[in-house]
Copies of this chain bind each other. A is one copy, B any other.
Amino acid sequence: MQSIGVGLIGTGYMGKCHALAWNGVKPVFGEGPKPRLVHLAEVSAGLAARRAEEFGFERSTGDWRALVADPEVEVVSITTPNAFHAEMAIAALEAGKHVWCEKPMAVTLTDAERMAAAARNSGRITALGYNYIQNPVIRHIGKLLEEGAIGEVNHVRFEMDEDFMADPEALFYWKSEASSGYGALDDFGVHPLSLVLVLFGGVARVMARLAKPYAERPMRDGGRRAVETWDIASVLFELRSGVSGVMALNRSAWGRKGRIALQIFGSKGTISYDQERMNEFQLYASGDRATEQGFRTVLAAPAHPPYDRFIPAPGHGLGFNELKIIECHEFCNAIAGRPARIIGFAEGLEIERSVHAMAQSHREDQWISV
């Protein structure tokens, strides 16, 4: 395969990330098919044309169905609002395209199930945009766990915090509405769950407690409206291995900007990581000499592939957007039938099920098996 025809639906931030990934994947990796940027769809033909020129697509449309029908399009990047994922992904799969869809899969579990079924039936490759798993540092942490570098894992903690909902006087908007989902659980929880999935293989049982920091928020036109979603979630869980875990999520956490913090405890050591410093991790190895034991701050380096495809020197740092280039490369690997580190619709459905189990646990105030 010398080239691959790409269609892109949606050009918000994630659309731009996909465009950058499709532009960068060949120069960075120097291997695999050359992406041919064929078709771009937006809500209006005008916007679509402008973005196509910026992003380097050959043609554009205000009707995403035209893109899906385009025979030169072999893969479709879907980066539209969550509510549209199911319809577009299923249509693309039915049209025989491979689908790279932003997370979360869908707002409802039913839609997610429909997407997973469509993927299974199509035989096409699907990938969800869980880009944190692509960080070379996270990949290396997984390798350390496999090698037993910290022995047998016996306890884990995950936190995810940002502050875009922290201001109590910020206006009521769609993320405060029940129609958007549960709140922190689905908005954030899917990210740590994607890491749980690749590092530990999934969650068996959950006990969650949701909380609203602010009962109501001001409306744009005056007055106040009751907030329907939970910005805070506190969760106990058990991995399939029986290992106990804690997960805390907060999208009203002043000062946290992109924190996804892991602590992994094992019989021979401990690993910790914080996405706000995504180019490093901390390792404590019990085998070090007693007088010089301590957490090592390990900087991302060429020894942590595929960092080496970007930079030949250690400690220089990848960016958040560059994780998408790695994700794109993995997606292409999967299409080419090579081993690939992606979360497809089948695995994504597991993440969705965990999220919905957490919500059920909160409603019923008891442990729920996933």
- Chain A interfacial positions (CB closer than 8 Å to B): 13, 16, 19-20, 23-24, 26-28, 30, 34, 53-56, 140, 144, 149-151, 154-155, 157, 159, 162, 164, 166-168, 207, 209, 211, 213-214, 232, 234-236, 238, 243-246, 248, 250, 252-259, 265-270, 276-280, 283-286, 288, 290-299, 301, 303-304, 310-322, 365-367
Contact = CB atoms under 8 A, between A and B. Distances in A.
Contact of A257 (B267, B301, B319): B301
Contacts of A238: 209
Contacts of A154: 211, 213-214, 232, 252
A207 B285 CA distance: 32
B316 A258 contact: yes
A198 to B, nearest CB: 18
Given A154-B211, A234-B245, A248-B157, A20 B13 contact: no
A276 B313 contact: no
Contact of A322 (B234, B280, B321): B321
15 contacts: A20-B28, A27-B56, A34-B56, A151-B168, A154-B232, A162-B313, A209-B236, A211-B243, A234-B245, A254-B269, A255-B269, A257-B299, A258-B317, A297-B297, A310-B319
A157 B276 CA distance: 19
Contacts of A166: 267, 286
A294 B283 contact: yes
B255 A295 contact: yes
A56 B288 CA distance: 40
B252 A315 contact: no
Contacts of A207: 207, 209, 236
Identical chains in the assembly? 4
A245 B299 CA distance: 26
A298 B304 contact: no
B34 A55 contact: no
A224 to B, nearest CB: 15
Contacts of A314: 257-258
A89 B117 CA distance: 58
A257 B365 CA distance: 35
Contact of A258 (B19, B270, B296, B315): B315
Given A13-B311, A232-B265, A293-B296, 13 more contacts: A27-B54, A27-B55, A30-B54, A155-B213, A155-B253, A166-B286, A207-B207, A254-B284, A259-B315, A294-B297, A318-B319, A318-B321, A322-B322
Question: Quick one: which of A283, A310, A321 has the most chain B CB within 10 A?
Answer: A321
A132 to B, nearest CB: 11
A250 B155 contact: yes
Nearest to A276: B315
A267 B214 contact: yes
Contacts of A298: 291-294
Nearest to A35: B56
Given A164-B313, A294-B283, A317-B278, A211 B155 contact: yes
A278 B279 CA distance: 10
Contacts of A318: 319-321
A319 B223 CA distance: 43
